């Protein structure tokens, strides 16, 4: 199943959970369950926007975007994070009102059952989506999966809290639970916005990918014949980039140097799927100096 298919499934599950959780709130009049239902609305909006951004990110390079549209996925993460903030504020608003105007809870058994069923659906889907996100390095899919996991934990907290209300008879616990849910939701929203901004600022590849790149380059290094330096990496959505300098003897022919560069590029791309390598050829006795520090020297 492709990334788009998972996001479509996420939207469909979000609709189902909205129906179930809204039904749970309607049956019980619990503001905690209302907050849970509101977060599912955010899930739906986030999944739809993520699907749009993944579609944009898959577009090929054009005259205005020579490096493609891969960073579009980061907008999805940021948008979902902002939606989560809005949901958190709405939850707090409803909870504060209920705190000052408590109401008895009704038909909790059926309401809690609906909440548990919807949470189980979200949990199974989130696990599958997160696995697929790591496989395809999809920020949009990962953001949606992590939000679903937050929804699962939120629902679990609401269920435990409502059981405590039943056990103690303390009606004020219901809005307090809702406020706690809002705080957890806001924390996840901040995390998504931060990750989105971080990605838009050309963050380096992860340590495992960097290690794979280093291993490939180390296999080509030969004393006094070939070395690499100024190795810089960045990530743009599912696409990875590496720029580096390859130094070789000045008496080599251009054809020989170009052939070796091709071999290095092919080895890098074979080791790291989705990687695009840019290699500048330089003689052994020539150094290129930049304001930024050289990442690695072999």
Q: What is the pLDDT of residues 250-268, one digit of tens each?
A: 889 999 999 999 999 999 9
Q: Is pLDDT above 70 for 288?
A: no
Residue 266 has a pLDDT of 92
Determine contact, residues 289/219, Cβ cutoff 8 Å: no
Fold of 207-283: Alpha-Beta Plaits (3.30.70)
Which residues of the chain form CATH 1.20.1510.10? 3-200
Q: What is the mean pLDDT of residues 167-195?
A: 77
Secondary structure of 260-278 in HEC code, one letter for each residue: HHHHHHHHHHHHCCCEEEE
Which residues of the chain form CATH 3.30.70.1350? 207-283
d(CA 89, CA 93): 6
Q: What is the mean pLDDT of residues 109-129?
A: 83
Higher pLDDT: 189 or 243? It is 243
Residue 294 has a pLDDT of 47
DSSP states along 180-237: HHHHHHHHHHHHHHHHHHHHHT-PPPPHHHHHHHHHHHHTT-BTTTBEEEEEEEEEET
Angle at 213 between CA 210 and CA 216, to 5 degrees: 150
Render pLDDT for 10-47 as a digit per residue (tens, 0 to 9). Answer: 778 878 888 888 888 788 877 767 777 777 777 777 77
DSSP annotation of 294? P
**Of the CATH numbers 3.30.420.40, 3.40.50.300, 3.30.70.920, 1.20.1510.10, which one belongs to the domain with range 3-200?**
1.20.1510.10
Residue 149 has a pLDDT of 77
Does this model's pTM top 0.75? My answer is no
Determine contact, residues 66/103, Cβ cutoff 8 Å: no
2: three-class secondary structure by DSSP: coil
Q: Is pLDDT above 60 for 293?
A: no
Render pLDDT for 199-247 as a digit per residue (tens, 0 to 9). Answer: 677 778 888 889 999 999 999 998 888 999 889 998 776 678 899 999 9
Residue 298 has a pLDDT of 54
Render pLDDT for 39-86 as a digit per residue (tens, 0 to 9). Answer: 777 777 777 777 787 777 777 777 777 677 777 777 777 777 777 777
């Amino acid at each position: 199943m492709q990334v788009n298919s998972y996001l479509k499934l996420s939207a469909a599950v979000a609709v189902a959970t909205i129906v179930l959780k809204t039904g749970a709130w309607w049956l019980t009049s619990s503001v905690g369950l209302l907050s849970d239902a509101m977060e599912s609305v955010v899930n739906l909006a986030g999944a739809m926007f993520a699907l749009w951004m993944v579609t944009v990110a898959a577009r090929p390079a054009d005259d205005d975007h020579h490096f493609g549209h891969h960073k579009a996925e980061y907008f999805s993460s940021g948008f979902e994070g902002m939606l989560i903030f809005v949901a958190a504020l709405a939850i707090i608003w409803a909870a504060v009102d209920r705190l000052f105007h408590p109401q008895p809870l009704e038909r909790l058994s059926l309401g809690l059952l609906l909440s548990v069923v919807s949470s189980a659906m979200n949990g199974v889907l989130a696990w599958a989506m997160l696995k697929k996100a790591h496989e395809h390095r999809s920020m949009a899919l990962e953001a949606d999966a992590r939000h679903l996991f937050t929804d699962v934990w939120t629902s679990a907290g609401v269920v435990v809290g409502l059981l405590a209300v039943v056990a103690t008879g303390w009606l004020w616990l219901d809005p307090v639970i809702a406020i706690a849910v809002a705080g957890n939701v806001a924390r996840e929203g901040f995390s998504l916005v931060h990750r989105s901004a971080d990605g838009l600022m050309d963050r380096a590849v992860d340590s495992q990918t960097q290690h794979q790149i280093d291993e490939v380059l180390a296999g080509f290094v030969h004393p006094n014949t070939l070395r690499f330096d100024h190795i810089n990496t960045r990530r743009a959505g599912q696409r990875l980039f590496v720029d580096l300098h390859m130094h070789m003897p000045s008496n080599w022919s251009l054809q020989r140097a170009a052939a070796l560069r091709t071999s290095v590029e092919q080895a890098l791309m074979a080791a790291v799927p989705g990687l695009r390598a840019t290699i500048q050829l330089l003689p052994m006795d020539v150094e290129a100096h930049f304001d930024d520090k050289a990442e690695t020297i072999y």
